[in-house]
Structure 1
Amino acid sequence: MDNKDSQSNSGYKRTLTNTHIQVIALGGTIGTGLFLGVGESIHRAGPSVILIYIIVGVFLFLLMRALGELILSDLSKHTYIDFIKKYLGKNIGFITGYLYWLSWITLGMAETTALGIYFQYWFPNLKPWIPGLITIIFLLLINLISARLFGNLEFSFAIIKIITIIAFVILVIYLLITGGKTTFGPVTLSNLTNHGGFFAKGGKGFLDGFQMVIFSFIGIELIGLTAAEAQNPKVTLKNAINQLPVRIILFYVMSIVA
């Protein structure tokens, strides 16, 4: 074992397996931005949102390759903030760390708000803050117990999200083949161009769509942060990042087309 590996094993008990990392990486790219925010993305950009997801996905793949190379170069560093401190100085690292913390506070509020919206669909009289508060306490307890428990539960939740998307895509393919209809009209690929064209909202709408699409990918960098908990980070991180384009195409682009 070299010096870097020995350093990486100090202070952290590595309990996440290759399966954990792979599914967490997949589940991390599927969230509120896809299940709830996609409606706003389509409203702003029209069918051209498909192209936006492909463009953003390519740039994120390059970003994650760079982040992966950085983290694997020194496994004694546990987050990209550590590398910022090392190469750009403690002050910039301090500012970046708190900006990252602020972004997750904002995202957390968006997620809990979305949770309240979901529950109100089935329970109209339920206060939207109640399911959010229960979820925050539940997640806090999980993280305080162990990383492995978190990994197992995240694995289960990610499987649910994956199965949901696959079932949705299969349903739409079935409706396409059988000529199925909905309350909004027939299910057909011509819907991509019939209502104002592929760029239905014009160039401005196309550019506006980037905001929601980029938001939907927040959390993708968590693949890199799992290095501190992975049993074999040199293998698992490499596989997770290299499979990123496949995940984006299969689960984002296909579901958006559907």
Structure 2
Amino acid sequence: MFKRLGKGYADKKANGVGRMENDRKQGNHLSRSLKNRHIQFLALGGVIGVGLFYGASQAVKMAGPGVLAAYIAAGLVVAIVMRALGEMTVEKPVAGSFSKYAHDLFGERMGFVSGGMWWFLWVATVMSELAAIGKLVQFWFPHFPAWIPGFLALILFTVSNLLAVKIFGEIEFVFAILKVFAILAFMVFGALMIFTGLFRAC
């Protein structure tokens, strides 16, 4: 597939592997401070956004159980795409992910568009999650300005990314655990509401 789609892809792959092997022998590589648990919980926490807690309630309220079917369908599509991306990663392990693959297989324009869209996606996602943090805080403290918690969260995220990789990994690890515990708590409270009628009067 790579030889058909990308002109000279095999040569680029060979050159890339050769450079990686040469750097490994010479010791020219960055320090790898992230542990396996950091990587796993970074991936787990990355798919659990604030929107899941803030927006899912309205979706379930309007669509009911149909939301589960939509999540399952979207999840299957994502699983297929990630499997294909995993195959390309095994074939050519390089930095840049799918933006680099689009550049090598379809040209510079597609690589630029792919990388630019990915950058814009995360800029919009982070800003929307910061806004959601302010809304969540206002739920408990209605008179508290929404921009303050969002601004504090932005400072926290920025500082954590500028610190050492190990510290960043630990911070993300803790936040990912909190997200997992929050989801488990929602599941427990939801089951109690369904089967016992707890909080139904509220």
Match of 2:155?
A: 137
1:22 and 2:37 aligned: no
* Pick aligned residue for 2:188 from 134, 149, 170: 170
Match of 2:21?
A: 6
1:91 and 2:109 aligned: yes
Unaligned residue ranges in structure 2 (runs of 5+):
1-16
State whether residues 4 and 76 of structure 1, in contact with CA within 8 Å, keep that contact through their aligned partners in structure 2. no
The root-mean-square deviation of aligned C-alpha atoms, in Å, is: 2.3
Alpha-carbon distance in 2 for matches of 1:125, 1:181: 25
State whether residues 137 and 146 of structure 2, in contact with CA within 8 Å, keep that contact through their aligned partners in structure 1. yes
What are the within-5 Å matches in structure 2 for residues 6-155 of structure 1? Answer: 6=21, 11-155=29-173
Q: Deviations over 1:9-36 (max 9, x none)?
A: 6554322222112112111121122101
Match of 1:195?
A: none
State whether residues 85 and 91 of structure 1, in contact with CA within 8 Å, keep that contact through their aligned partners in structure 2. yes
Higher relative contact order (CA 8 A, sep 6+): 1
| Normalised TM-score (structure 2) | 0.79
Aligned in 2, Cα 1:78/1:148: closer, same or farther, shift over 3 Å? Answer: farther
Alpha-carbon distance in 2 for matches of 1:66, 1:86: 16
Report SS of the residue matched to 2:65. helix
Report SS of the residue matched to 1:14. coil
Aligned in 2, Cα 1:172/1:126: closer, same or farther, shift over 3 Å? Answer: closer
Report SS of the residue matched to 1:13. coil
Aligned in 2, Cα 1:92/1:154: closer, same or farther, shift over 3 Å? Answer: same
Alpha-carbon distance in 2 for matches of 1:173, 1:125: 32
Unaligned residue ranges in structure 1 (runs of 5+):
185-258
How far the C-alpha of 1:110 sits from its partner, in A, is 0.9
How far the C-alpha of 1:183 sits from its partner, in A, is 2.1
Q: Deviations over 1:74-111 (max 9, x none)?
A: 22334221111111111221122112211222112211
Aligned in 2, Cα 1:40/1:98: closer, same or farther, shift over 3 Å? Answer: same
Aligned in 2, Cα 1:127/1:173: closer, same or farther, shift over 3 Å? Answer: closer
Matched residues, number = 183
Alpha-carbon distance in 2 for matches of 1:89, 1:59: 25
State whether residues 71 and 77 of structure 1, in contact with CA within 8 Å, keep that contact through their aligned partners in structure 2. no
Aligned in 2, Cα 1:119/1:172: closer, same or farther, shift over 3 Å? Answer: closer
Alpha-carbon distance in 2 for matches of 1:159, 1:8: 36
Match of 1:211?
A: none
Give the structure with higher Rg (CA): 2
Alpha-carbon distance in 1 for matches of 2:123, 2:30: 25
State whether residues 85 and 92 of structure 1, in contact with CA within 8 Å, keep that contact through their aligned partners in structure 2. yes
Q: Look up the equivalent residue of 1:55 and give its one-letter code.
A: A
Alpha-carbon distance in 2 for matches of 1:68, 1:24: 17
